[in-house]
Amino acid sequence: MRPRLILGAGLTAAILLLAGCATGPDTGPTAITGGKGDGNPAQSSSSAPQGPVLAAPRNDLGWTDCAKAVSDRFGMTAPAGTSIECASFTSPITPDQQSAELLTIDAVRARTAATPKDAPPLVLTTGTDMPAQRALLMLTAGDGKSILARNPVVAVEMRGTDSRSTIDCMTMLDSSTIVNNGIAGYPGPLRAPAALATAQRIDRLAKSGSSAADSCNDTLTPNQVNFTSVLAASDLDALRVRWGVDRLAVLGLGEGADVALSFAAQYPDRVGRLILDTPTSFGSNTRDRASTAATGVQRALTTYASRCAQIAQCSLGGNGLATIASVVNKAAKGDIPDISDTNVLTAITTALGTAISDADRAALAAAISAADRGDTKALTTLVSTTTGLRDSQPQLLSRCNNSSGTVGLDQVPGLITEWTKQNPITGTNAALSLVRCNGWATSQPAKAPTSYTTAPLVLAGTNDPINGSDASTLNAGFTEAGTAPISVSWDGLGYSVLAHSSCAADVVGDYLGATPLSGPAERACPS
């Protein structure tokens, strides 16, 4: 029997010219230490230009308390005083056909007693990275939670992932082989008692990718290509229409920045504010995105090992990076039961990206160190949790639908050699991942906005363990569109600058206000 698909029913920025265009020496970004942080007097509301108006929903969703259900799902509870509410809305699976089948889109809202009742919501999207509500929980627990004193945050899930619908178009064996980058793990233990040759992994992964493509095309026809970041932008507009507001404030986190930028490209006059937090390389082909991720994630792991050594309870030892590499290599050789090297990297990077405190980072270090000594219980539990967050079938489907540009199977061994020299821990995994979508039709790169009525706010984290974000990849697109974004750099460690930085939350709060931000175009928040 074939698997089946079930479907449910312009801000004018008051900013300085970039340093390269200014006279005199480049003094670097302005450091922000708290408050508004720009070192300049705020404009008075009576004389300041007004940005596009943001409004609270006129016709809100039917929110119900779901704190326990969300907590049970993710094993994480929102802090006391924070309400977590769930609702859903519908969106046509094909936006230009209003009579098309409807998708159900899940949404989760976070707010506190201090959140103004008439404050416009900030819409959070994470694309295919992880459930948006999991990222929302991270925000409510992190230093960026102060944003909730100004605005509610509404997490909107990626199309195809709602709680009442399932995309189940791949066999479990194919999806497991894809998730493990060529090592089959279902049913039963991983079928890798010893190290697999690179050619074997590529062959297994290519066959499973091709089989999954055929199965999903057969099962989902004619909707197999309708689960993309570009079409997810239409879901945000469906929410806007449902709310009865003219414009949205959108926060695109990680791969969710692709959704946010697609929204700005398709509906430029419906963007009230646009925030890109640790964004992926919008418009880049699959190979370039993988290369960027390999470099960025390796950098984040190196930073983690270095900083963990400064935490009293960290157990990674004097050469933490070597300990991480040791566990990854043991898994690649089949020396860790039921865990692949790809599993290990997914677990470590997810736990590190969502860690809020030093205690969280120390707990991760303990799991890694124990696994290196042969005690894999904690790491196995972490693998089970994080694989479910990062590699569900709907996520795999959307990533393959989003892929642009092909990489020949004969090119992958060379890329493995090249990338592993540069990034010893992440290079092999990144290059193998290029084979996951073998057999899928590649899409055209998403169209970038040609202009912005709202100057984007870019939160540029330099140590993102999830995507290895490099916000500089967006600069060419901004230049072509004739915009100068406001940029906030942060050299902390984690997925989402906003979730981890109260300084960034202050900037975001001001950006969402009625008047444009004053002060420098380039800023920096302390880690």
Confidence of residue 163 (pLDDT cuts 50, 70, 90): confident
Give domain status of residue 119, yes or no: yes
Lookup: tokens for 489: 């750099």
Q: Which long-range contacts (CB under 8 A, 24 or more apart) does 44-49 make?
A: 45/514, 45/515, 48/14, 48/515, 48/516, 48/518, 49/12, 49/14, 49/515, 49/516
Q: 136 in a domain, yes or no?
A: yes
Buried b / exposed e along 356-367 (16+ C-beta atoms within 10 A): beeeebbbbbbb
Please state whether the peptide bond connecting residue 95 to the residue before it is cis, i.e. omega within 30 degrees of 0.
no
CATH of the domain at 111: 3.40.50.1820
Structure tokens at 492: 């902390």
Residues 247 and 189 in one domain: no
From 509, 461, 506, 459, select the one nearest 486 (Cα to Cα). 459
pLDDT at 446: 87
Statement to judge: residues 255 and 371 lie in one domain: no
Do 277 and 341 share a domain, yes or no?
A: no
Same structural domain for residues 85 and 114? yes
Q: How far does CA 389 lie from the centroid of its chain?
A: 11
pLDDT at 8 over 60: no
Kindly state whether residues 253 and 215 are assigned to the same domain.
no
> Of 373, 402, 433, which residue is a domain's last?
433
Q: In terms of domains, do 148 and 177 share one?
A: no
Establish if 315 belongs to a structural domain.
Answer: yes
Alpha carbons 161 and 176: distance in angstroms, whole number: 18
Asked whether residue 482 is assigned to any structural domain, the reply reads: yes
Distance between CA 155 and CA 133 in Å, rounded?
6
Same domain assignment for residues 212 and 145: no
pLDDT tens sequence across 242-265: 999 999 999 999 999 999 999 999
Task: Note whether 123 and 147 are same-domain residues.
Answer: yes
pLDDT digits (tens, 9 = 90+) for 371-408: 999 999 999 999 999 988 999 999 999 999 999 888 99
How many domains, in total, are found in the chain?
2
Q: Are residues 214 and 346 in the same domain?
A: yes
Q: Mean pLDDT score of the chain, rounded to an integer?
A: 88
Q: Please tell me the pTM assigned to this model.
A: 0.90
- What pairing do the DSSP bridges indicate for beta strands 153-156 and 457-461? unpaired
Whether residues 261 and 156 fall in one domain: yes
201 and 326 together in one domain: yes
In-domain check, residue 335:
yes
Domain boundary among 403, 433, 463: 433
* Residues β-bridged to residue 4: 168
Mean pLDDT of 464-493: 96
For 343, phi then psi, to 5°, come to -55, -45
Is residue 499 included in any domain, yes or no?
A: yes
Q: What is the pLDDT of residue 388?
A: 87
At 32 the pLDDT is: 56
Contact 132, 161 (CB under 8 A): no
Query: What's the confidence (pLDDT) of residue 161?
Result: 87
Domain identity same for 519 and 418: no
- Picking from 400, 433, 466, the residue at the C-terminal end of a domain is 433
Residue 150 lies in a domain: yes
Phi-psi region for residue 496, left (φ > 0), alpha (ψ -120 to 50) or beta?
A: left
- Per the structure, the complete domain to which residue 382 belongs is given by 168-223+305-433
Which amino acid is it at 126? T
pLDDT confidence of residue 97: 79
Q: Residue 6 domain-assigned? A: no
Rounded Cα distance, 165 and 171, in Å:
17
**Structure confidence at residue 294 (pLDDT):** 98
Report the pLDDT value the prediction gives residue 113, as an integer from 0 to 100.
96
